[in-house]
Structures are given as structure tokens and as C-alpha cells.
Amino acid sequence: MDARFYRGLATTVLGLALLAPSALSAETIRQWQFAPNGETSQLALREVEARKPAANEVAVRVHAVSLNRRDLMMVAGRYGRGGTQPNSVPLSDGAGEVVAVGNAVTRFKVGDRVAGIFFEDWLDGAPSAAAIATARGGNDGGMLSEIVVTDADGLVSIPAHLTYEEAATLPCAGVTAWVGLFKRGRLEAGDFVLLEGTGGVSVFGLQLAAAAGARPIITSSSDAKLQRARELGAFGTVNYRTNPEWQNEVRALTGGIGVNQVLEVGGQDTLPRALQTLAFGGHVAIIGGLSGFASDVPVGTLMGLNATASGIYVGSRADFEALNAFLSEHKIKPIVDKVFELEDAPAAFEAMDSGDFFGKVVIRL
């Protein structure tokens, strides 16, 4: 999307009366909302009444949130069949401190450091249609708010070695990479892993794979980003701009064997090439559609390779907790590339849309 779109949002928002936190009463908070604007949405910073937690709920003072590609699609009115709910709160990913608990809550206490899970009602096991419908962002469960009130079951404790900014990157991108590689892909030490680009899911995949003793290979159009990837443990790197047939270079890096795991985030332009890199018995985690979602899965190719493909839509609370245990064990710190303040949220959306970042874009509240 043209960057002027987000600058237009910023102009619209700055016309509002923005209050400093000290100017707010104890009964009000600031939050960004999706305000209807024809077929798209505008970002509006509003002061709203703070809600006290009910018996099973927790109030969290959000300290940081992070952006994902789906957030841009929501602004543009291109996400999901139902679209974005009017005057709803953006962003699925956030971390903060518990400031109040309902009288029936036993999972958390005031002062605990927590993050919201992506699906508020998907706790473990297989998802249901009802659980999938509770994805945060573009509804009342969005995290771009100074305080959020949620069911205690919809939170996890965050690793002690992480800052709030780092922990805010985990709920969508981190869990997605974990599920794709370990739960569905059953990653093993020594596996070759293909990661496309240097956005949130791919950089998480790089860090997780390297920590597990696998051999990650990552692509980018930027040699500078590829250098950063090597510093994080990339076994091999390929510039797809200078190597248009990048799948051949990826396969060559494996000695011709092919990769065992693919985190497929590119969509219809990258899936055919990614499959050309795949080893016999390999696994493709189909995650995103940066170039549009591929309409056809090449069944013949998968059968010929005795390979598997999994559609990945984040994961459960149990998956998030498994990711956190791995991060704590290996002392992995997510890569936060750009940090914006609450008032500058439209600039964070613009930065996300530009692609000029490595890892994650974060907003601090």
C-alpha cells in the first residue's frame, strides 16, 4: 500500500485532542481504534472508559505491542470474510503487567508479566470454529490499548529474560514459527530449513532452527539483511534479487539433497520455487500470502516427494507455552528492529508496510 495512505491516517489522527497519560483520569485510557472510512479503515486515537475485570478476568497494563502483516490487511479492508469490526481495537500481539484481577482468578496476580494469546479461547488440542473466531485484533480483544481486560485463560506468563518489547513479538509470529517447525514439521537437529525473507515469522524460524541444531537457509533481496541473518546463525543465505532462480541456489547449499522444512510465507509467487527446494519426505508449512495466496496446492509434487504440507494459522495457548519454554531454555531474544511510541502508531503501520525492517516492528505504550 502507498505510504501516503498511512501519512493520511496520521494527519487525520493528529487532528484529535491527544492527551498525555498524566492528563487522563483514573477511569479513562487511550486506545487506537479502526474507524470506518468507506471500504477501508482509519486509525483513530481515542479516550475511552476503563473497564474493571469481572470475576474470571484480568486487567493488563499493556507496555508494548507488535505488528503483523494481517494488521495492514485490516486497515485496507482486505482481511477475512467479515471484515474489521467498526471502532474495534487493532493488533493481536501485546505484553504487559497485570494491574487487577477478578475475584475468581487464580492463574495470575497483580504484578505478573503476561502476554495475550492470539486466539483467546484456543487453549490446547485441536481448534474449533468457535475458538478460531476469537482471534485478537479488529475486535474488542485488540491489544493497541493502554489497558486490556481479558479472561485469565487468554494470557500466558512471559519469559523472565525478555523485555516487554521483545515479549510483544511472540503471540502470532513466534507461535506460528514454532508450530510450523516443531509441532507440524517435527524439526530435528541437522535438518535443512528454508526461510523466506526476513520478516517476523522467518527471523523467528531462523533463531529457533539454529538453536535446535538445524541448518537454516534464508532468502532476502538485501545483502545487509542477509549479513544480519548470518550473525544469527544462518547456515546459508541467498539474495533472490540477484539470483532470480533462487531455488537452485538453495538446493545447492544442501548438497543437492533439498530442504527438510519450509516456512512458506510468500504465497503464490514463492510456493512453486519453494517446492523445488524440498527434499524427499520434507514438510512445507503454508503460512502467508505476501504475493497473494496460492489457489492450487500441487498434489502431484507432494506425492512424488512423499512430502507433507500443513496450513498454519498460529496455534493454541499450549503451543505458546511450549515456545516460551524453548526460548527460556536457549535464552533466545526476539529481534525488535523498530520501536514507535503510542502516538506514532500510524508511522509504525507505514514502517511495516515498507518492508524496510528485520524481524519485528513494535509500538511502546
Enumerate the domain spans of the chain.
3-169+334-364, 174-311
Q: Give the chain's length.
A: 365
User: Backbone dihedral region of 90: left (phi > 0), alpha (psi from -120 to 50 degrees) or beta?
Assistant: beta
Q: Tell me if domain 3-169+334-364 and domain 174-311 are identical in fold.
A: no
Backbone φ and ψ of 360, nearest 5°:
-130, 150
pTM: 0.91
Name the residue with cell 513494535.
Answer: 362
Indicate the pairing of strand 236-239 with strand 215-220: parallel
Residue of 119, 54, 51, 99 lying closest to 365 (CA atoms) = 99
Which are the contacts of 190, defined by CB distance < 8 A and separation ≥ 6?
213, 214, 215
Residue of 162, 161, 137 lying closest to 150 (CA atoms) = 137
**CA dist list (Å): 277 to 109, 198, 248, 254, 258:** 49, 18, 7, 9, 5
- In the chain, the DSSP E strands lie at 28-37, 40-49, 57-66, 93-101, 113-116, 147-151, 155-157, 192-196, 215-220, 236-239, 259-264, 278-286, 308-311, 336-341, 360-364
Superfamily of the domain at 3-169+334-364 = Medium-chain alcohol dehydrogenases, catalytic domain (3.90.180.10)
Residue of 162, 229, 242, 157 lying closest to 197 (CA atoms) = 229
Q: What is the mean pLDDT of each run of 10 residues along the chain (365 residues)?
A: 51 36 62 89 94 97 97 84 79 98 97 98 96 94 97 98 98 98 98 97 98 98 97 98 97 98 88 95 85 66 94 97 98 98 97 95 98
Cell numbers describing residue 122 = 484456543
Give the per-residue pLDDT at 270.
87
Give the per-residue pLDDT at 297.
74
> 95 and 114 in contact (C-beta within 8 Å)?
yes
CATH 3.40.50.300 is held by the domain 174-311: no
